Structure 1
Amino acid sequence: MRTASQTPSHEHSDRYTHGYERPVLAAHATRTAQTSAGYLLPHLRPGMSLLDVGCGPASITLDLAQRLRPGRVLGVDTSAQALAAARAEAARRGDSTTSFEQADAYSLPCADGSFDVVHAHQVLQHLADPVAALREMARVAGSLVAVRDVEYRTMSFFPDLPGLQMWLDTYRQIARANDAEPDAGRYLKAWAHAAGLADTTVTVSAWCYADPDSVHWWSHSQAERVHGQAFTSEAIEAGRSAAEVEEMVQAWIDWGDSPDAYFTMTHTELLARV
């Protein structure tokens, strides 16, 4: 496991473990500021400026922009596909002021202290050098850095299907092969301190899928993602067979069909005052 003092040097070659296929972007587009950045909302007020690092399809970004108007909001992402989805969502909402740019977390296209808030949701877990990214985010932030990341080892589910445990073990193996940290949540405070951020507040929240609608959505969303080319190819690289991938897909479907289905995961949230 990576510690704050063992983060590898980066060369702008991070591999996004989930990939950018349609099921991934569709799932990320369901996230809202309320469900994914609730810890940050009490600290925002109209007129503040915000940079969203790794904005993806921008459902969170645009929610935050609505709260901050007339403040400037910029979303950046390394993926052209994600940015296309972000711009399409902005157009759908009639938002012509939020802007988007292709950039990575290690080299933000912004002057020192140019945004009141710099935000990143589920980003640091995918980076080879999260400390360097936090240091760069702090450079750009005039007041606050806000990050939230899951800890995959906290995922709990019922029925306890072997195919789901295989999926979880496989994902964590793939992430580490990509020089990423699937249990990033537990390291956020240490990474922030290593980046020179001393004034931090840490909180925890969870996502839970237990009602019929959320179970159905999570089941089918995950089955599609596992069946996708990105996960399948990486799972096979990690030593899984095509038959085992199909077992994981079926496990997600079977889980969703159970009237007792339950799935939860814990997220760590960190606010750092600059």
Structure 2
Amino acid sequence: MPQVESAVYSHGHHASVIRNHSQRTAKNSMAFLLPHLKPSMKVLDLGCGPGSITTDLAEYVPEGHVVGLDRAVILDQARELASSRGVTNIEFIDGDANELPFESGTFDVCCCHQLLQHVGNPILVLEEMRRVVKPGGIIAAREADYSVFSWYPESRGLSEWQELYDRVARHNGGEPNAGKFLHVWARKAGLSEIQCSVSNWCFSTDEEVRWWSDSWKDRALHSSFATTALEGGLAKMEDLERVSEAWKQWGEDQDAWLSIPSAEILSFKK
């Protein structure tokens, strides 16, 4: 029986979310993988979103090929990005990571970024990633842990946001603290030679702080996060307005600072 994703994507595809995710690059999000890429590799990027990381990866394998997989709703934007940058060794397909539409041993690399926190069975997805990679190939994943986000100045409103995000993500069937479980999921999925690391996004300049603040100020009110919170009875509109205002005030503080750590794994298939 075909596997179907049971969890719901907590962020959705509101413009405020896409603006945020479009700033992700191979360097700021998948740096741990880049030294292992070779020009002729065939790469699969799961949960590719608007394609900013995927398109970067294609430039690291100019003699190879990259496939980005996600739901159809976002793929036109990914294709437009690749086309605007003149990247041709790339394609984007609609698919479910629980049952990948590829033969075993198709790719040299299979990677995902901030995907496993949004799926109902991350171990199954990692098993699929392992299946479609050739012997000697690489499985790579990077996942945040929302429980250890850190910010300055302290804010009751941002603590409320953190608690509400946890409830929304779990209501949707995901695991918002995926980073701390990533290496365990990988082992249970049968991955071998697992290398673990951690890297941070840090937002501290005026431009970085303003960008993140503007994103979550809107997302708290208008994205799927807000819709789920309201329809699931997890929050009222006044709660979301308070969270939005907290992000606005944080963004206006000259000393504002935010750290987002993510766990990373590399596995080399035997």
- Displacement after TM superposition at 1:239 (Å): 2.7
- SS of the counterpart of 1:245? helix
TM-score by length of 1: 0.94
**What residue in structure 2 maps to residue 216 of structure 1?**
210
Match of 2:35 in 1: 42
**Contact 1:170 1:238 (C-alpha < 8 Å) held by counterparts:** no
Letter in 2 for 1:213: E
How many angstroms apart in 1 are the aligned matches of 2:162 and 2:245?
14
Residue aligned with 2:260, SS: strand
The match for 1:119 is 111
| Cα pair 1:174 1:238 within 8 Å, conserved | no
Which residue of 251, 256, 260 corresponds with 1:256? Answer: 251
Partner in structure 1 of residue 61 of structure 2:
68
Query: Where does residue 186 of structure 1 map in the other structure?
Result: 180
Q: Verify the 8 A CA contact 2:64 2:89 in the aligned structure 1.
A: no
Task: Look up the SS of the partner of 2:259 in the other structure.
Answer: strand
Tell me the residue number matched to 1:132.
Answer: 124
SS at match of 1:149: strand
Match of 1:239 among 225, 234, 256: 234
Stretches of structure 2 that go unaligned for 5 or more consecutive residues are none
Percent of aligned pairs sharing the same letter:
39
Q: Is 1:12 the counterpart of 2:5 in the alignment? A: yes
Q: What letter matches 1:29 in structure 2? A: S
* Contact in 2 for aligned 1:52/1:119 (Cα 8 Å): yes
Residue 77 of structure 2 is matched in structure 1 by 85
Correspondence 1:144 to 2:138 = yes
Whether 1:169 aligns to 2:163 is yes
Q: Among residues 177, 191, 197, which one is paired with 1:197 in the alignment?
A: 191
Tell me the secondary structure at the aligned position of residue 107 of structure 1. Answer: coil
Q: Secondary structure, in 3 states, of the residue corresponding to 2:63?
A: coil
- Counterparts of 1:138 and 1:13 in 2: how far apart (Å)? 21
Counterpart in 1 of 2:152?
A: 158
Give the match for residue 270 of structure 1: 265
How far the C-alpha of 1:229 sits from its partner, in A, is: 4.2
Residues 173 and 238 in structure 1, CA contact (< 8 A), matched pair in contact too: no
1:263 Cα shift? Answer: 0.8
Runs of 4+ in 1 over 6 A off after TM superposition: none
Structure 1, unaligned runs of 5 or more: 1-9
Distance (Å, rounded) in 1 between the aligned partners of 2:241 and 2:74: 27
Kindly state the Cα deviation for residue 81 of structure 1 after the two structures are TM-superposed: 2.4
Secondary structure at the aligned position of 2:216 is classed as helix
Query: C-alpha root-mean-square deviation of aligned residues, in Å?
Result: 1.1
Aligned residues: 264
Secondary structure in 1 aligned to 2:55?
helix
